[in-house]
Chains A and B, each alone.
Chain A
């Protein structure tokens, strides 16, 4: 178990270092999410609380897609993924390391997006923060698996949204519900259940996605 966690830490640390050096993903995510919130603000000047929550979740979802599309770029270039697959570590450690780095990128983008949302639309509640955090887990879990799947395909930029968006619908339902409903605990529970199921499925199936 210690060796597994050490592998995951090394892989996640590597992803953060690669992003720190290349600055390819996070700056684009920040610009996109703030830009989208500003555009929605002016496009729908009299937006209701309901519409504001919906717009926030749409902006977060498409921002996550930016991170996921780029999640395996470093491994695809020069087939570095082969080097990782040759290593004697458990292949699921590659998934978990990558999912942790995707989670960190999303959290970073949301740390900017939520204050912007509060400024332009509504105050940020604890229920919203909890919903965003739980949705991040699901996005990172499913999105990393699909990102690896799409990375092996020729039309990867098209394939990833096609695979990811249908699977993200429950996250939007849970996220918007947690933001607006009188009983947010029910929706937060739903998000937690989604996270648990899809994290286990993604963890268990990653090896079959990246190997022949």
Chain B
């Protein structure tokens, strides 16, 4: 599903990522680890198609509509409510029965009570849960999660671990970056350790 050879990315003079070789097959769970500045977020943004490589080769054989990307930012409008944000994305992804799907996700991530509050007023942890809802809204085949535990409390962490278990059981392809690999236990089927370029 993903094939990268000698993959690299520069931002001006700064090298963010270099010489990455990795293959990710369907149903695999790849955990990307490394310290701050190692290029984990850059790698995931390359996989999502938001960046293009400046060196090497990258092939992602997955339609944009089937990719879910949890970025560092929640990618939601602060002036809209969680319900309105998810409804907008639901429309753009043309999700059939989107209201039911949105309601189910809001319930599952403990956001139903906050569904009509302005997103800008939500706590960072609640925003991260909303971002997870947005990422999984269209039931993506390829799920890219950049530091998914960021800002989550104990309940949120448990919810995310449950979700990862469900996605793994459904044979979804997962690429997750984290500098806390111990949180994932034995779930990842492969690991990629990045070092600062």
With both chains docked as a complex, state the minimum distance between the C-beta of B132 and any C-beta of chain A, in angstroms.
Answer: 13
Complex Cα–Cα for A18 and B76 (A) = 12
- Secondary structure call for the A interface: helix
Check if A22 sits within 8 Å of B79, measured CB to CB: yes
Check if B75 sits within 8 Å of A83, measured CB to CB: yes
Known A77-B78, A79-B75; judge A86-B64 contact (CB<8 A). yes
A-B contact count (CB 8 A): 72
Decide if A7 is an interface residue (CB 8 Å cutoff).
yes
With both chains docked as a complex, state the minimum distance between the C-beta of A72 and any C-beta of chain B, in angstroms.
Answer: 12
Check if B91 sits within 8 Å of A18, measured CB to CB: no
Known A14-B88, A21-B118; judge A87-B78 contact (CB<8 A). no
Decide if B134 is an interface residue (CB 8 Å cutoff).
yes
Give the residues in chain A near B69, CB-CB below 8 Å: 82, 86
Known A78-B75, A88-B65; judge A83-B89 contact (CB<8 A). yes
A27-41 toward B: CB 8 Å interface, digit per residue (1/0)?
000000000000000
Cβ 8 A contact of A78, one of B49, B78, B92: B78
Decide if B50 is an interface residue (CB 8 Å cutoff).
yes
Check if A10 sits within 8 Å of B50, measured CB to CB: no
B65-107 toward A: CB 8 Å interface, digit per residue (1/0)?
1010101011111111000100011011110000000000000
User: Which B-chain residue is minimally distant from A21 (CB atoms)?
Assistant: B79
Check if B89 sits within 8 Å of A87, measured CB to CB: yes
Decide if A89 is an interface residue (CB 8 Å cutoff).
yes
Check if B93 sits within 8 Å of A83, measured CB to CB: no
* Residues of chain A from 1 to 59 with CB closer than 8 A to chain B in the complex: 3, 6-7, 10-11, 14, 17-18, 21-22
With both chains docked as a complex, state the minimum distance between the C-beta of B196 and any C-beta of chain A, in angstroms.
Answer: 23
A66-106 toward B: CB 8 Å interface, digit per residue (1/0)?
00000000100111101111111100000000000000000
With both chains docked as a complex, state the minimum distance between the C-beta of B134 and any C-beta of chain A, in angstroms.
Answer: 7
Complex Cα–Cα for A21 and B119 (A) = 12
Decide if A182 is an interface residue (CB 8 Å cutoff).
no
User: Which B-chain residue is minimally distant from A14 (CB atoms)?
Assistant: B88
Complex Cα–Cα for A88 and B68 (A) = 11
With both chains docked as a complex, state the minimum distance between the C-beta of B116 and any C-beta of chain A, in angstroms.
Answer: 13
**How many residues of A are in contact with the other chain, CB < 8 A?**
24
Decide if B48 is an interface residue (CB 8 Å cutoff).
yes
Which of A3, A10, A78, A89 has the largest number of chain B CB atoms within 10 A?
A78
Decide if B63 is an interface residue (CB 8 Å cutoff).
yes
Check if B84 sits within 8 Å of A17, measured CB to CB: yes
Complex Cα–Cα for A212 and B11 (A) = 12
Give the residues in chain B near A21, CB-CB below 8 Å: 79-80, 118
With both chains docked as a complex, state the minimum distance between the C-beta of A23 and any C-beta of chain B, in angstroms.
Answer: 10
Give the residues in chain B near A74, CB-CB below 8 Å: 77-79
Decide if B51 is an interface residue (CB 8 Å cutoff).
yes
Complex Cα–Cα for A77 and B75 (A) = 9
Give the residues in chain A near B75, CB-CB below 8 Å: 78-80, 82-83, 86
Decide if B122 is an interface residue (CB 8 Å cutoff).
no
User: Which A-chain residue is minimally distant from B71 (CB atoms)?
Assistant: A82
Known A21-B118, A86-B64; judge A80-B77 contact (CB<8 A). yes
Binding site for B on A (CB under 8 A): 3, 6-7, 10-11, 14, 17-18, 21-22, 74, 77-80, 82-89, 212
Q: A78-B73, A78-B76 are in contact. List 17 more A-B contacts (CB 8 A).
A: A7-B91, A7-B92, A10-B88, A10-B91, A10-B92, A22-B79, A80-B73, A83-B71, A83-B76, A83-B89, A86-B64, A87-B92, A88-B64, A88-B94, A89-B92, A212-B50, A212-B52
> Can you sample 16 A-B contacts with CB below 8 Å?
A7-B91, A10-B88, A17-B84, A18-B77, A21-B79, A21-B80, A78-B75, A79-B71, A80-B73, A80-B76, A82-B73, A86-B75, A88-B63, A88-B64, A88-B93, A212-B50
Nearest 4 A/B pairs, CB to CB: A83-B75, A88-B65, A87-B92, A21-B79
